[in-house]
Structure 1
Amino acid sequence: MNLSTYNESQYLLFDSKTLEYSRHRASRPLQNTLCVDGKLLTTSPVYDSYWYLACERQNIFFNRLKGQPVPWTNDPILLKHKFTNAYRAADRTSQYLIRNVIYREDLPSTPKEVVFRILLFKIFNKIETWKYLEEAFGSITYSEYNFDEYDSILSQLLKEAKQIYSAAYMMPPGGRQFGYIRKHQNHLRLIEKMMAESLPEKLNESKSMANAFSLLKSYPTIGDFLAYQYATDINYSEVTNFDENEFVIAGPGAKDGIEKCFVDTKKIDYSTIIRAVMENQSIEFEKRNLNFQPMWSRSLQLIDCQNMFCEVGKYARARHPDIAGISGRTRIKQLFSVNPNPMSYFFPPKWGITTV
């Protein structure tokens, strides 16, 4: 398709019968602009793919939930490559965190213990690493934590050529701040520093998500992206109770996706753009005739819209290769494979989501 012929009355949609993308005329003319902070931003075809991707990824989620056989989509890009859910909390790692790390009846539920578990899990962000530690120590608690013992287990895993960190995002090594050669040793010391300085109690007393973000960001190796991700993870627990639509920070991937979605962002803050997109989601789906299925009663939150910009940035590498962002990446590295382990979804009880 020659994207130079794209106009505001048409949008791109994947046709499952022809296995191709084609132009579809909207029920009323599409305006290829978005009003953000009083300014009209001109959108690119990637912006239409943003809404298509959110809708189709959510269709995949429900097709799988209903027990339908693979493939759950006919989109060739989604069939080949790995993409996260439209809702961050529905991803396998987040689900494991919520159910198996945070809400544990057999483990202490004080802010200190809950935050310790969350930080320990999220530093590695890998389910297998948590399982290794549980197998070694039984109950994972701060009251029984010992640096040498945890270091020994993690070092042994490395000797066995096991991956202990997820590839989802890069963790700064922290050697300059804490002085150890191995990354996990520095990160254990980082957690110790947080606990010694009463971070869990300070988070519990925080009045806003922005304040929680600032507390986390004040620690060595924790930048904007990680601080926001950790604040979101902690907010799944009862330690804090912020509205997820209160605060957002764009990560590197989201910034790349935003730059691809708009011809010119006019130096508007990325967080402001994400909020405008979130607030207009119903309108944007409707004018593209996309039947988006929300996660039961929960619409896309700021964290989800931020995440979708990251995903459409990846998606565009295959679908819109001639539209450049700021990452310089041209390939999607992670391939999709069906995880045979069934999912039983559990969300923070305070959300009031009934999944059946």
Structure 2
Amino acid sequence: MNGRAGDRRIGTRRHAVSAPEVFIRRHPPVPSLVFDTYWYFASERQSIFHARAGGAEAPWTDDPVLGAYKFTNAYRASDRTSQFLIKRVIYNEDHDWPSTLLRVLLFKVFNKTATWNLLEASLGPMSLNNFSSERINAVLDDAIASGTAIYSNAYIMPSGAASMRQARKHRMHIALLSDIVRGSVSADIQKANSMEQAYNIIRSVPSFGPFLAMQFLVDLNYTQFLNFSEMDFVVPGPGARDGIRKCFQSLGDYDETDVIRWVAERQELELSTRGLEFKTLWGRPLQLIDCQNLFCEVDKYARVAHPEVEGRTGRTRIKQRFRAHAEQLTPWYPPKWGINEKIRQCQAAPGPSRE
């Protein structure tokens, strides 16, 4: 690469004689009207986040769609479930890597804060030393018997192949976690030389498809034990692919993964071209996983804002309505990102931060 987005340079040199350099220009994606909405949505959703984090009273937006329906934040790590994971699951106290791996995957399999709170209230702080499939299954069996939902509805956890299935889905997942933490996966992930290599290790776990493997890796990368750049690698999920289809008339010579990187690398240009003010995450620009998530959310937003634009799935409505949480949002991120001190300084300073 010569550093210019969309160009590929192929050069050869023989016997110290210079050969002509050939430039092959890749045809870039062709945006649709919804691509403008992508950047508007990112800017407005992030503005809502900063308003709420700063303690502003509702309403936080004049947008009728954003005001009525539930959408995730522009930055994945800002969502309440991710914040719970970072604060309460990963960094609540010191854990070694094997216990951290267990804690993250145990939480993410159910992806529900109430389920995590139930397990720790019943069994104590989760770690590899006190991990017991029988005790965890007993707690979850009782919860289900009482009518409690133990899985989040954010995504569907697969039941696994026929050979893996048990009487209840959670029993298969707990058995799978037991195999993971006692096998080679833990050490293999830590030895991975790239985010893609770590992804392939997680992807090799039975019943962990591409979407789950990517999501779990991003969560594990929040820990102090992994330090991959979020600009290294991404795998588009089903919702993101739907959003990409709506945002572009053609992908040109790019695939969906290329498009996500193209968008992430052009974010400042795209926002400024449209005259949009975007308040970053205290200096942290959108990463690949954030741009991937935004495509998923814009797919939903466009069902109301652009009903004439069809996606891959043909869905036409947004299921979840917005309900404000009473708890005040106090964002906190992996310390290695170096932004928690900036948050404290901004909160202590008079007036809103415009960073």
**Which whole-Å CA distance do the structure 1 matches of 2:253 and 2:150 have between them?**
39
Residue deviations 1:314-345, cap 9 Å, x none? 00000000000101111100110001111221
1:350 corresponds to which residue?
Answer: 336
Contact 2:260–2:291 (Cα < 8 Å) also in 1? yes
Return the match for 1:64 from 45, 52, 56: 52
2:251 corresponds to which residue?
Answer: 265
Query: What does 1:1-356 correspond to in 2, within 5 Å?
Result: 38-105=26-93, 108-174=94-160, 176-266=162-252, 268-353=254-339, 354-356=342-344
Contact 2:28–2:251 (Cα < 8 Å) also in 1? no
**Which whole-Å CA distance do the structure 1 matches of 2:197 and 2:43 have between them?**
33
3-state SS of paired residue (1:171): coil
Task: Name the amino acid aligned to 1:50.
Answer: Y
**Which whole-Å CA distance do the structure 1 matches of 2:163 and 2:271 have between them?**
46
**Which whole-Å CA distance do the structure 2 matches of 1:180 and 1:266 have between them?**
46
Q: Return closer, same or farther for 1:35/1:57 CA change in 2, 3 Å cut-off.
A: farther
**Which whole-Å CA distance do the structure 1 matches of 2:211 and 2:217 have between them?**
10
**Which whole-Å CA distance do the structure 2 matches of 1:140 and 1:175 have between them?**
27
**Which whole-Å CA distance do the structure 1 matches of 2:161 and 2:134 have between them?**
17
Contact 1:111–1:201 (Cα < 8 Å) also in 2? no
3-state SS of paired residue (2:249): coil
3-state SS of paired residue (1:327): coil
Q: Which moved more, 1:345-354 or 1:305-314?
A: 345-354
**Which whole-Å CA distance do the structure 2 matches of 1:132 and 1:38 have between them?**
53
**Which whole-Å CA distance do the structure 2 matches of 1:139 and 1:330 have between them?**
43
**Which whole-Å CA distance do the structure 1 matches of 2:165 and 2:41 have between them?**
43
Task: Name the amino acid aligned to 1:96.
Answer: F
> In the TM superposition, what is the alpha-carbon distance from 1:267 to its structure 2 partner?
6.5
> In the TM superposition, what is the alpha-carbon distance from 1:35 to its structure 2 partner?
5.9
RMSD: 1.4
Residue deviations 1:130-177, cap 9 Å, x none? 000011012111211111111111111111111111111111012524
Contact 2:53–2:328 (Cα < 8 Å) also in 1? no
**Which whole-Å CA distance do the structure 1 matches of 2:99 and 2:28 have between them?**
47
Task: Name the amino acid aligned to 1:200.
Answer: S
Residue deviations 1:211-246, cap 9 Å, x none? 110000001110111111111000000121100100
**Which whole-Å CA distance do the structure 2 matches of 1:143 and 1:198 have between them?**
17
Contact 1:175–1:183 (Cα < 8 Å) also in 2? no
**Which whole-Å CA distance do the structure 1 matches of 2:208 and 2:198 have between them?**
13
> In the TM superposition, what is the alpha-carbon distance from 1:65 to its structure 2 partner?
1.1
> In the TM superposition, what is the alpha-carbon distance from 1:198 to its structure 2 partner?
2.7
Structure 2 unaligned segments of length 5 or more: list them: 8-24, 345-355
3-state SS of paired residue (2:28): strand
Q: Return closer, same or farther for 1:181/1:346 CA change in 2, 3 Å cut-off.
A: same
Residue deviations 1:160-211, cap 9 Å, x none? 1111111111110125242302110110011111112132222111111101
Task: Name the amino acid aligned to 1:263.
Answer: Q
3-state SS of paired residue (2:329): coil
Residue deviations 1:69-118, cap 9 Å, x none? 1110010000110000000000000000001000122xx52110000000
Identity %: 44
Give the total of aligned pairs: 321
> In the TM superposition, what is the alpha-carbon distance from 1:291 to its structure 2 partner?
0.5
1:29 corresponds to which residue?
Answer: none
1:4 corresponds to which residue?
Answer: none
Task: Name the amino acid aligned to 2:40.
Answer: Y
Contact 2:61–2:67 (Cα < 8 Å) also in 1? yes
3-state SS of paired residue (1:39): coil
Q: Which moved more, 1:268-277 or 1:176-185?
A: 176-185
Task: Name the amino acid aligned to 1:289.
Answer: G
